[in-house]
Amino acid sequence: MTIALQEFLNYSLNAPKYHDGLVFVQSGIDEKDVAALNMWLRRYCQKHKGLSFMIVSSSTDSKDGTAAGPHIHGLLINEEPREKIEEARKSITKYCQKRRKKRPGLKQQQTKLLNGMSIVQYMDRQCDSERTYGDFDFDYFKDARYVDVF
């Protein structure tokens, strides 16, 4: 795919702005867990303005594209610097630990700070179903023109 420099510049200048983000993965889930996490994240984002999220349920192994156990990839975006992503990280970890007490089949959740929006393209490739909430334009980063520039 060839992209004209001016098109790329215009595309890049219109990128949605964000301050920071949190990426997480939870395995050993079922649809009830996905629905519960979706509702918890919605309430959390409503309470803490400036946050948006995207979660995808997946059954694809990232290494070779074969079937894998069901798991969730999640992305929590902080659009404004006034919110602390570390507070969100603690809250979501606490929520998942509480849920694991009720559902011993859930695996320990993995979280890390966002280091680039190419994770959105990865999540889109892994996606069986997707849920989003908030004003942030996640679709912008699914576009083939988007490339993380460090």
The pLDDT assigned to 7 comes to 78
Block mean pLDDT (10 aa), the chain, length 150: 72 84 91 93 93 93 79 92 85 90 84 91 91 94 77
How far is the C-alpha of 140 from the C-alpha of 121, rounded, in Å? 10
Domains (range + CATH), the chain: 16-142 (3.40.1310.30)
- What is the value of pTM for the model shown? 0.85
How far is the C-alpha of 68 from the C-alpha of 117, rounded, in Å? 24
The pLDDT assigned to 78 comes to 93
The pLDDT assigned to 6 comes to 78
The pLDDT assigned to 3 comes to 67
The pLDDT assigned to 35 comes to 94
The pLDDT assigned to 2 comes to 67
The pLDDT assigned to 137 comes to 94
